[in-house]
């Protein structure tokens, strides 16, 4: 939907495309010199020169454009090529042509501008100028150089400039999509798109481009109205909401049909685009003839009017769009719709030395060329090239149809942009302008329907899930239909009945109700959250209190231990005990160290093995990643090839469609030529007839011989001319047949190619599915390896943590061992010091013994006293040590009691947890059993209901078979009645024949009156017999109709039989009337005769009485027929009731089936929940087992500590 006409000309105060101004405002002098750029005023295509936009810096915008190209991955070479093409378009617009005075040939006096354009496009100047001024076209089977006038040359340059910019624009779109990886192989059914389009354009001068834009807005506005108004109200009706359908008067289809409708039967059904296409190929057509044809065809159309402006009143028209009336000027519409290109210039561009320019025109064929345009200017308007291309209007309609198809398959959201004022001033709002825009956009009607309707709608299960918190006791436990649950909820919420409606699957609310429910829900959630916070804070406070109590008890224990330590720290024996005790643990510490070393070695070996496995896993992961990347690359290549094949298939399909259209067009042309041949043949025959008449006149009249001879010669010349035209048309039809056969062969070749491409596409699809399965398998393997690696990492981290713990324990043990060794060394030094002191004391004591032998006797008493004092002191010391040991034992006993208390509490907690777990498991099993029972009961009920539905269906099937049997019998009876009626008709015909014979005999002789009376009597008897048969047949018919009161299957057959009976009765009545007329004539004949005639009159009166009786019986038959009609209506109503009951039973069965599936789904959910609970139970059991093991280890450690304590007590 590119407005490419803006490239060559712009309206007043309008700019061309922004990229031209951005490129011209660039400050990169090297780029400007490379592109041969000048000032904007030097270019003809920039009609208004450098037209700045307030608040827009073109140079800064150009820098942003370059950054955007960088982001899209457009290389520098591609960028320069794009700018070269844009500069070349400006240079082409500056080319100047002049008209020769003596010939209809244009010339180029100055080729400097053309040289610049050719330099930028990589072309030869002579080739380009020759292509513009003397293009080579095909006339018949030969090629000639056609002279171009100045106007034609300028038009060709403008057309090629627009085409170059359009192809550059398409290339840029394709390049961006390729950068965004939007290939068709990756496109999905789910996407988000943005469509930005200008609104209705109503200018002072509106042309073909404005009609296209307004036509697009009509289609989009129709989509908006359909989405906002029609679908909204259809949603209400589909859901069964009480709603009166409102017609907002927003039907845009008449305007759309006026523009786009294609010819069906006559030209009155053609739209503006179709008439424009027709005029493009009509010989000697002009814009004025196009407007005149529009006025003739749409004179009475409600959306079409004559132009109101004086300038466009002569060559213009008006269309009443949704936004208002728009006056269009039809100047140059035929050229704009054809948009022909000079195929010579196209060939020059295809052979460009610049690969970028050549790629823009790659694959271009079937362009609208000069030969195609010249073909429409011949005498007879030959259109052999029609179908080889499509007009601009056709292309625009096709693109818009594809866009609308995409929009109709999506869920669109509309954003309306409103202009607050025309002065572009902030803080100012023009209310009239805003309301007019809202009215034109349909927003006011949307607000109106939202106020009258129910804009908010929620599915039943979503409403129940979200707002059940507001009415907790409204819905009982167990299964309940969604509609019933919603009804209970809204009654519990005490909502006004005018604020909501409940449909089949949704609940509808007026504006503001959902916001009110959300506020109430937030309040209720706040209450629940506050209650939960209170419970959580109470729990945390109780736990903190319990922790403070435990800390208080621990403080008391530490206080007693510190008191005991303060009493013992200065006692010599205690100090000796603390020094000697570590020496007893040396041997055991060495064993512990050795065990720890062995454990460290094992952990190191395990770490090495884990590192080796990790390296192996990393290597395998890298290998699998490489394989996965390779497979992904291969899959991408396959996808790309598939996308290319798909593109090729689409191109072939498009070509096939074009060739089919061409073939159809040629067929229509062939039919037209055949019709022309037929007309010429009729003219030829008429001429021959006229010639024959003329010859007869020449033979009859000698006076007008000379004049007749002249007319004869003239007619012979006309006949020869007609014969020559007939021969030429025959040749042309033969050529068309040959061309048709060639096109059919080409179509078959293309069809075979298309089949091969489709087969290739299927093969690629299979290969794609295979590769996807391989990739899926590799991804599963990769995920498995990732899971294994994660497990290994977790194991590694666990081993590393254990290794760190063991290392810390080893370091602690090593430090303790070092401390113990240092303490042992200090004790050994002190022991040596004591030993040396003892030796010195022994030496001193020996010396003293020598000096104290004399005083030995005197000192014995002192020695004994001193020994007794030391014994008493030692006794006191031992008593204090005993007291200290008792205190320590009591403290140890207290700590053991605390440990036992903790163990007892832990055991109680474990028992409580186990009991709670068993209770919860029992409750879950009970709930599961109850759910199973409920589901079993529900399934049994559903099966019973299904069985009842089956029995009802079987009963109805048996009744239907019985009715079919009865219908067959009644059909046989009706057949027999038909044969009886045929017999009655035959006898009535015989009666008529006899009455005719009676009339003939009355005319012959009066002597045969008695015989005629006998014949009349026999006729009367036959009539009575036929009447009796008729009454019998009618009685049987009444019986058959009463017997068929319960049938609806044979209703149409009985109606047909009844109509046949009615027709036969009408025929009988007609025959009766004819008999009455015959009798009337007989009566008149009898009036003229004597006594015998009077007897015959009495017989005629008798026949008249019989006729009256027949009329009375016919009236009775009519009453019987009316009764039969009533019975038939009753039969129809009974059948409709039976069908409705059958549909209700079927619906009930379907509902039961849905309920059964829902129950099965809930049962599967419960099974899943059960499996989850079982896994949680196993996890709890595992934790419990681990906790028991930990508890056993703690008990063993406690026992070891107790044994160590006992041993220390014994040693003490």
| 151-165, 340-354, 930-944, 1168-1182: least confident range | 930-944
Q: Which two tokens stand for residue 301?
A: 């159309």
User: CA 1103, CA 1097: separation in Å to the nearest integer?
Assistant: 9
Q: For 767-800, what is each residue's pLDDT tens digit?
A: 666 666 766 776 676 677 667 667 766 766 776 6
Going by their DSSP bridges, the two strands 136-139 and 142-145 should be labelled as: antiparallel
DSSP tag of 206:
B
* Secondary structure, 3-state, 711-734: HHHHHHHHHHHHHHHHHHHHHHHH
Task: Report pLDDT for 539.
Answer: 96
Residues of the chain with CATH 3.30.70.1590: 456-560
Sign of CA dihedral 375, 380, 383, 385: negative
**pLDDT of 477 higher than 60:** yes
Task: Report pLDDT for 531.
Answer: 94
Helix (H, G, I), strand (E, B) or coil at 36: coil
Backbone angles phi, psi at 352, to 5 degrees: -65, 145
Angle between helices 1051-1088 and 1009-1043 (to 10 degrees): 160
Residues of the chain with CATH 1.20.58.530: 202-339+391-414
More confident site: 838 or 63: 63
Task: Report pLDDT for 1018.
Answer: 60
Inter-residue contact 360 to 171 (CB < 8 Å): yes
**pLDDT of 929 higher than 50:** yes
Helix (H, G, I), strand (E, B) or coil at 655: helix
**pLDDT of 996 higher than 70:** no
**pLDDT of 1093 higher than 60:** no
Q: How far is CA 286 from the centre of its chain?
A: 46
**pLDDT of 1128 higher than 70:** no
For residue 81, count CB atoms less than 10 angstroms from its CB and return exposed for 0-12, middle for 13-18, buried for 19 or more.
buried
Q: For 866-898, what is each residue's pLDDT tens digit?
A: 666 776 676 676 666 666 666 665 666 665 566
Q: 823-831 long-range CB contacts below 8 Å, 24 or more apart? A: 823/579, 823/582, 824/582, 824/583, 824/586, 826/579, 827/579, 827/580, 827/583, 830/579
**pLDDT of 369 higher than 70:** no
Task: Report pLDDT for 1200.
Answer: 78
Q: What is the CA radius of gyration of the chain?
A: 56
User: CA 952, CA 1172: separation in Å to the nearest integer?
Assistant: 43
Q: For residue 764, how many other CB atoms are within 10 A of its CB? A: 19
Q: How far is CA 403 from the centre of its chain?
A: 15
Determine the length of the chain: 1212
More confident site: 709 or 318: 318
Q: For residue 790, how many other CB atoms are within 10 A of its CB? A: 10
Task: Report pLDDT for 1062.
Answer: 63
More confident site: 528 or 369: 528
Q: What is the average per-residue pLDDT within 208-223?
A: 87
Instruction: Say yes or no: domain 1-181+340-373 is CATH 3.40.50.300.
Output: no
Q: pLDDT over 90 for what percent of the chain?
A: 6
Task: Report pLDDT for 314.
Answer: 60
User: CA 543, CA 551: separation in Å to the nearest integer?
Assistant: 12
Residue of 52, 54, 59 whose CA lies nearest to 22: 59
More confident site: 1133 or 58: 58
Query: 81: pLDDT confidence band, cut at 50, 70 and 90?
Result: very high
Q: For 537-549, what is each residue's pLDDT tens digit?
A: 999 999 999 999 9
**pLDDT of 377 higher than 50:** no
User: CA 672, CA 506: separation in Å to the nearest integer?
Assistant: 60
User: CA 276, CA 271: separation in Å to the nearest integer?
Assistant: 9
Residue of 935, 1153, 923 whose CA lies nearest to 478: 935
Please give the sequence-ordered ranges of beta strands (E in DSSP) within 222-333, or none if there are none.
304-306, 316-321, 324-329
Planar angle of CA 250, 252, 254, nearest 5 degrees? 130
How many helices and strands, by DSSP H and E, does the chain display?
30, 10
Query: 554: pLDDT confidence band, cut at 50, 70 and 90?
Result: very high
Query: 928: pLDDT confidence band, cut at 50, 70 and 90?
Result: low
Inter-residue contact 302 to 254 (CB < 8 Å): yes
Give every CB contact of residue 630 below 8 A, 6+ residues apart in sequence: none
Q: For residue 833, how many other CB atoms are within 10 A of its CB? A: 10
Residue of 103, 160, 109, 151 whose CA lies nearest to 131: 160
CATH architecture of 456-560: 2-Layer Sandwich (3.30)
Inter-residue contact 322 to 252 (CB < 8 Å): yes
Inter-residue contact 434 to 421 (CB < 8 Å): no
User: CA 803, CA 953: separation in Å to the nearest integer?
Assistant: 77
User: CA 1083, CA 980: separation in Å to the nearest integer?
Assistant: 32
Give every CB contact of residue 430 below 8 A, 6+ residues apart in sequence: 420, 421, 422
Q: For 643-659, what is each residue's pLDDT tens digit?
A: 777 777 777 777 777 77
Task: Report pLDDT for 65.
Answer: 92
Inter-residue contact 256 to 222 (CB < 8 Å): yes
H or E, element range at 136: strand 136-139
- HSE toward the beta carbon, residue 242, CA cutoff 13 A: 5
User: CA 572, CA 877: separation in Å to the nearest integer?
Assistant: 9
Q: For 1046-1069, what is each residue's pLDDT tens digit?
A: 555 555 665 665 666 666 666 666
Task: Report pLDDT for 542.
Answer: 96
> Between the ranges 358-367, 555-564, 754-763, where is the mean pLDDT highest?
555-564
User: CA 80, CA 37: separation in Å to the nearest integer?
Assistant: 13
Inter-residue contact 442 to 228 (CB < 8 Å): yes
Inter-residue contact 195 to 223 (CB < 8 Å): no
Residues of the chain with CATH 1.20.120.720: 1-181+340-373
Inter-residue contact 659 to 750 (CB < 8 Å): yes
List residues bridging with 137 in a β-sheet: 144
Task: Report pLDDT for 169.
Answer: 92
Give every CB contact of residue 86 below 8 A, 6+ residues apart in sequence: 19, 20, 23, 165, 168
List residues bridging with 509 in a β-sheet: 456, 500
Torsion of CA 1114, 1120, 1124, 1126, to 10 degrees: 120
Longest C-alpha distance within the chain, in Å? 221
User: CA 669, CA 662: separation in Å to the nearest integer?
Assistant: 10
Q: Which two tokens stand for residue 618?
A: 């990393």
- pTM here? 0.44
Q: What integer best gives the mean pLDDT of the chain?
A: 74
Inter-residue contact 252 to 37 (CB < 8 Å): no
**pLDDT of 383 higher than 50:** no
Residue of 469, 509, 519 whose CA lies nearest to 489: 469
Residue of 252, 256, 217 whose CA lies nearest to 416: 217
Going by their DSSP bridges, the two strands 506-509 and 98-99 should be labelled as: unpaired
Task: Report pLDDT for 533.
Answer: 95
Q: Measured in Å, how far apart are the chain's first and last C-alpha atoms? A: 106
Q: Which two tokens stand for residue 670?
A: 């062939």
Q: For 21-48, what is each residue's pLDDT tens digit?
A: 888 888 888 888 888 888 888 888 887 7
User: CA 723, CA 678: separation in Å to the nearest integer?
Assistant: 12
Q: Which CATH number fits domain 202-339+391-414: 1.20.58.530, 1.10.150.120, 2.60.40.1120, 3.30.300.130?
A: 1.20.58.530
Q: What is the average per-residue pLDDT within 11-16?
A: 78
Q: Which two tokens stand for residue 527?
A: 């209450």
Q: Which two tokens stand for residue 1121?
A: 């027929």
Residue of 1013, 1074, 597 whose CA lies nearest to 806: 597
| 70-84, 448-462, 465-479, 644-658: least confident range | 644-658
Q: How far is CA 944 from CA 594, 952, 1141, in A?
A: 78, 12, 19
Please give the sequence-ordered ranges of beta strands (E in DSSP) within 437-550, or none if there are none.
456-459, 500-502, 506-509
Give every CB contact of residue 1179 below 8 A, 6+ residues apart in sequence: none
């Amino acid at each position: 939907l590119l407005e490419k006409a803006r490239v060559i000309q712009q309206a007043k105060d309008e700019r061309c495309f922004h990229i031209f101004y951005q490129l011209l405002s660039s400050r990169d002098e090297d780029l400007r010199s490379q592109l041969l750029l000048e000032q904007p005023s030097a270019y003809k295509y920039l009609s208004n020169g450098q037209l700045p936009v307030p608040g827009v810096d073109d140079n800064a915008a150009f820098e942003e454009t370059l950054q955007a190209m960088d982001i899209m991955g457009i290389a520098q070479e591609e960028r320069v090529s794009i700018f070269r093409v844009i500069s070349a378009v400006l240079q082409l617009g500056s080319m100047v042509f002049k008209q020769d005075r003596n010939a209809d040939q244009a010339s180029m006096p100055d080729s400097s501008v053309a040289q610049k354009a050719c330099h930028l496009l990589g072309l030869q100047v002579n080739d380009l100028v020759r292509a513009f001024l003397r293009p080579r076209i095909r006339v018949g089977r030969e090629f000639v150089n056609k002279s171009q006038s100045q106007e034609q040359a300028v038009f060709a340059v403008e057309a090629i400039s627009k085409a170059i910019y359009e192809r550059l624009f398409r290339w840029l779109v394709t390049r961006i999509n390729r950068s965004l990886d939007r290939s068709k192989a990756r496109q999905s059914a789910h996407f988000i798109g943005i469509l930005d389009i200008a609104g209705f354009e109503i200018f002072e001068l509106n042309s073909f481009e404005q009609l296209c834009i307004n036509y697009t807005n009509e289609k989009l506005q129709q989509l908006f109205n359909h989405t906002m108004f029609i679908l909204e109200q259809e949603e209400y009706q589909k859901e069964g909401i009480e709603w009166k359908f409102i017609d907002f008067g927003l039907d845009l289809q008449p305007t759309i049909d006026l523009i786009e409708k294609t010819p069906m039967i006559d030209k009155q059904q053609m739209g503006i685009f179709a008439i424009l296409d027709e005029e493009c190929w009509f010989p000697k057509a002009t814009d004025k003839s196009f407007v005149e044809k529009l006025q003739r065809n749409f004179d009475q159309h409600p959306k079409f009017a004559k132009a109101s402006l004086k300038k466009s009143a002569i060559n213009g028209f008006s269309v009443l769009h949704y936004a208002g009336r728009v006056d269009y000027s039809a100047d140059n519409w035929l050229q704009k719709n054809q948009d022909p290109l000079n195929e010579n210039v196209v060939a020059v561009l295809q052979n460009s030395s610049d690969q970028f320019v050549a790629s823009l025109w790659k694959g271009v064929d079937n362009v609208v060329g000069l030969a195609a345009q010249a073909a429409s200017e011949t005498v007879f308007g030959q259109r052999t090239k029609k179908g080889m291309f499509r007009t601009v209007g056709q292309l625009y309609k096709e693109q818009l149809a594809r866009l609308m198809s995409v929009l109709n398959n999506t869920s669109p959201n509309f954003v309306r942009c409103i202009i607050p004022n025309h002065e572009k001033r902030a803080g100012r709002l023009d209310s009239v302008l805003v309301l007019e825009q809202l009215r034109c956009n349909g927003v006011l009607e949307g607000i109106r329907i939202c106020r009258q309707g129910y804009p908010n709608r929620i599915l039943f299960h979503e409403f129940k899930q979200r707002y059940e918190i507001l009415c907790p006791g409204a819905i009982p436990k167990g299964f309940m239909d969604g509609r019933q649950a919603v009804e209970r909820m809204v009654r519990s919420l005490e909502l006004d009945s005018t604020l909501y409606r409940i449909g089949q699957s949704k609940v509808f609310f007026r504006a503001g109700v959902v916001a009110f429910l959300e506020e109430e829900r937030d309040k209720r959630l706040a209450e629940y959250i506050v209650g939960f916070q209170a419970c959580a804070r109470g729990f945390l406070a109780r736990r903190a209190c319990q922790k403070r109590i435990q800390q208080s008890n621990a403080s008391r224990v530490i206080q007693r231990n510190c008191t005991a330590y303060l009493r013992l720290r200065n006692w010599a024996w205690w100090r000796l005990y603390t020094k000697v005790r570590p020496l007893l643990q040396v041997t055991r510490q060495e064993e512990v160290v050795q065990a720890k070393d062995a454990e460290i070695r094992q952990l190191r070996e395990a770490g090495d093995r884990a590192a080796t496995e990790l390296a192996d896993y990393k290597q395998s992961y890298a290998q699998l990643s490489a394989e996965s990347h390779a497979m992904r690359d291969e899959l991408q290549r396959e996808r790309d090839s598939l996308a290319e094949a798909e593109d090729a298939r689409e191109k072939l399909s498009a070509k096939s469609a074009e060739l089919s259209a061409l073939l159809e067009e040629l067929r229509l042309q062939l039919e037209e030529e055949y019709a022309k041949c037929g007309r010429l043949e009729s003219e030829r025959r008429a001429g021959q007839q006229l010639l024959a008449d003329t010859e007869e006149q020449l033979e009859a009249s000698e006076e007008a011989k000379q004049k007749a001879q002249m007319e004869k010669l003239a007619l012979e010349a006309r006949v020869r001319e007609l014969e020559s035209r007939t021969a030429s048309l025959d040749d042309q039809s033969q050529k068309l047949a040959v061309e048709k056969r060639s096109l059919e062969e080409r179509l078959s070749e293309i069809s075979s190619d298309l089949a091969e491409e489709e087969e290739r596409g299927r093969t690629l699809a299979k290969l794609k599915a295979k590769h996807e399965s391989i990739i899926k398998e590799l991804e599963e393997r990769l995920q498995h390896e990732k899971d294994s690696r994660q497990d290994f990492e977790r194991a590694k981290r666990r081993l590393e943590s254990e290794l760190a713990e063991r290392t810390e324990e080893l370091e602690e043990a090593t430090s303790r061992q070092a401390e113990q060794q240092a303490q042992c060394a200090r004790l050994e030094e002190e022991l040596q010091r004591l030993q040396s002191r003892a030796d010195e004391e022994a030496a001193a004591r020996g010396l003293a013994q020598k000096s104290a032998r004399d005083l030995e006797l005197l000192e014995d008493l002192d020695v004994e006293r001193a020994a007794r004092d030391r014994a008493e002191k030692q006794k006191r010391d031992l008593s204090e040590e005993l007291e200290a040991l008792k205190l320590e034992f009591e403290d140890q006993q207290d700590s053991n009691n605390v440990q036992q208390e903790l163990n007892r509490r832990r055991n109680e907690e474990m028992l409580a947890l186990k009991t709670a777990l068993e209770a919860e498991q029992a409750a879950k099993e009970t709930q599961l059993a109850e759910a199973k029972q409920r589901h079993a009961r529900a399934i049994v009920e559903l099966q019973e209901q299904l069985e009842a539905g089956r029995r009802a269906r079987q009963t109805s099937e048996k009744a239907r078979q019985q009715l079919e049997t009865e219908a067959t019998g009644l059909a046989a009876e009706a057949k027999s009645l038909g044969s009886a009626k045929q017999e009655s008709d035959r006898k009535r015909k015989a009666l008529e024949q006899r009455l005719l014979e009676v009339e003939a005999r009355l005319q012959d002789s009066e002597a045969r009156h008695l015989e005629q009376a006998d014949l009349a009597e026999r006729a009367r008897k036959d009539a009575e017999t036929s009447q009796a048969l008729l009454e019998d047949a009618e009685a049987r018919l009444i019986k058959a109709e009463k017997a068929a009161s319960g049938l609806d299957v044979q209703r149409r057959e009985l109606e047909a039989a009844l109509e046949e009976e009615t027709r036969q009765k009408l025929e009988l009545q007609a025959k009766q009337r004819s008999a009455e007329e015959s009798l009337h004539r007989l009566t008149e004949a009898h009036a003229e005769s004597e006594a015998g005639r009077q007897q015959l009159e009495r017989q005629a009166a008798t026949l008249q009485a019989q006729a009256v009786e027949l009329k009375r019986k016919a009236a009775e038959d009519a009453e019987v027929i009316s009764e039969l009609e009533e019975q038939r209506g009753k039969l129809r109503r009974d059948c409709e009731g039976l069908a409705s009951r059958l549909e209700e039973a079927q619906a009930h069965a379907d509902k039961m089936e849905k309920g059964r599936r829902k129950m099965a789904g809930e049962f599967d959910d419960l099974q899943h929940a059960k499996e989850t609970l079982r896994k949680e139970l196993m996890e709890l059991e595992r934790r419990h087992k681990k906790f028991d093991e930990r508890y056993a280890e703690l008990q063993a450690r406690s026992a070891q500590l107790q044994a160590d304590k006992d041993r220390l007590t014994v040693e003490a």
